[in-house]
C-alpha cells in the first residue's frame, strides 16, 4: 500500500477538499482537519499542514498537488559507474578503492572474460583479469598506503569516513574524464545517511546522485570490475610492502597476521609496523602480547 506525505499550500488543500467534498468523513483524531475516504485511497489533512495519502490510488490523488512518481532505474542496461574497495578487513596492506565506468556494449565482453563477484575468483585469476580490465575499461584507482592510513585515522578520519572520502574522490576524478553515467552505485559499506554526513567534510563534490547498495558486486558489472581492479591493487601493495621488509604479509586479520606482526615489531619496532599495517586493528595489541611471552 502506497503511503505519501506532502506539505502543499493551504490554497491547494482547500481546492482538493472542495473537489472531493463528498468523501469527507469524521475523524476522532484531534490533529486531523479533514479526512477523506476516496476510491482506493484515504487522505488525512493534519493541522500541521501535512497531507498523508494512503492506498493503492494514493499516487494518482497526489498528482493533484504536483507529486511525481520517482523513476527508479533498475538493472544495468545503461552507462553506469560502480565503485568498490578492498583492504578494509585486512591488517596488512593499504586500502584500495576503484571506480569504473561500464557501458552496455561492454557487457558481453566482461561476461565472456569471466567478470563476476570477485569473491568467487582466485587471486591468480584476479591478477590476470585486472591487467585486461585496466586496459579496456575507463576507471579511477586510488590506494591509501598503511602509513598514510595511520596518519589520518583518528585525526581527520575514522574507519568509515576515510572510505567515504576515497569513494567520493575516485568517482569525482572519473567524472572529470567526461564520462556520462546514468547511475552511480557504491557497494554499500555504511548507510546512505552516514555517507552523506561524512561527505559534507569533503572538498570535491559532484551533482550526480549516488546509490549505496548491498551486494552490488553481484548485481552490477561496473562494481565487479572495480572489485577486481581494487583487489589486484591491494595484492600488489601487499607484495611490495612485504618485499621491502623481508616478510610475506598475509591478507586478513587472523592469527597469522598477529604472528607476522610480532616478528616485524621485534625487527623494526612500531615504525616498521606502521609502514605495513593498519595500527588501530586489535592485531597490534595481540602482536605486542606475543612478544612479551
Domains (range + CATH), the chain = 2-65 (3.30.310.10), 81-240 (3.30.420.10)
Local confidence band at 119 (pLDDT 50, 70, 90 cut-offs): low
* Mean pLDDT in residue range 119-143: 91
Q: Are 167 and 62 in contact (CB under 8 A)?
A: no
Burial 120-138 (b: 16+ CB within 10 A, else e): ebeeeebebbbeebbeebb
pLDDT at 70 over 50: no
* Mean pLDDT in residue range 280-293: 92
Alpha-carbon torsion angle 73, 78, 209, 194, nearest 10: 80
* 164 strand-pairing partners: none
Q: What percentage of the chain reaches a pLDDT higher than 90?
A: 78
| 84 marked among binding-site residues | yes
pLDDT of 213 = 92
pLDDT at 241 over 80: yes
pLDDT of 291 = 86
Average pLDDT, rounded, for the chain: 92
| 258 marked among binding-site residues | no
The three-class DSSP label of residue 95 is: strand
Question: At residue 107, what are phi and psi to the nearest 5 degrees?
Answer: -60, -45
Q: What percentage of the chain reaches a pLDDT higher than 70?
A: 95
pLDDT of 121 = 80
pTM listed for this prediction = 0.74
Which cell is 19 given?
Answer: 473537489
pLDDT at 74 over 60: no
Local confidence band at 4 (pLDDT 50, 70, 90 cut-offs): confident
| 85 marked among binding-site residues | yes
Amino acid at each position: 500500500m502506497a503511503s505519501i506525505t506532502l506539505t502543499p499550500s493551504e490554497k491547494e488543500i482547500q481546492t482538493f477538499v472542495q473537489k472531493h467534498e463528498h468523501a469527507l468523513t469524521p475523524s476522532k483524531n484531534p490533529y486531523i482537519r479533514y479526512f477523506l475516504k476516496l476510491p482506493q485511497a484515504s487522505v488525512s489533512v493534519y493541522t500541521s499542514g501535512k497531507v498523508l495519502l494512503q492506498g493503492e490510488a494514493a499516487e494518482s490523488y497526489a498528482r493533484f498537488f504536483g507529486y511525481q512518481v520517482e523513476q527508479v532505474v533498475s538493472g544495468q542496461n545503461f552507462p553506469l559507474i560502480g565503485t568498490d574497495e578492498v583492504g578494509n578487513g585486512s591488517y596488512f596492506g593499504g586500502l584500495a578503492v576503484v571506480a569504473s565506468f561500464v557501458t552496455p556494449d561492454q557487457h558481453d565482453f566482461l561476461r565472456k572474460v569471466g567478470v563476476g563477484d570477485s569473491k568467487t575468483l582466485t587471486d591468480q585469476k584476479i591478477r590476470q583479469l585486472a591487467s585486461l580490465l585496466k586496459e579496456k575499461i575507463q576507471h579511477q584507482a586510488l590506494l591509501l598506503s598503511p602509513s598514510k592510513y595511520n596518519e589520518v585515522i583518528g585525526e581527520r578520519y575514522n574507519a568509515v569516513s576515510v572510505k567515504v572520502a576515497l569513494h567520493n574522490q575516485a568517482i569525482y576524478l572519473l567524472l572529470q574524464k567526461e564520462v556520462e553515467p546514468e547511475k552511480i552505485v557504491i557497494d554499500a559499506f555504511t548507510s546512505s545517511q552516514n555517507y552523506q554526513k561524512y561527505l559534507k567534510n569533503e572538498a570535491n563534490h559532484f551533482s550526480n546522485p549516488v546509490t549505496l547498495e548491498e551486494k552490488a558486486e553481484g548485481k552490477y558489472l561496473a562494481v565487479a570490475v572495480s572489485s577486481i581492479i581494487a583487489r589486484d591493487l591491494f595484492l600488489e601493495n601487499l607484495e611490495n610492502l612485504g618485499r621491502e621488509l623481508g616478510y610475506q604479509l598475509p591478507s586478513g586479520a587472523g592469527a597469522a597476521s598477529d604472528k607476522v606482526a610480532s616478528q616485524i615489531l621485534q625487527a623494526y619496532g612500531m615504525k616498521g609496523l606502521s609502514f605495513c599495517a593498519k595500527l588501530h586493528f586489535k592485531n597490534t595489541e595481540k602482536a605486542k602480547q606475543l612478544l612479551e611471552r
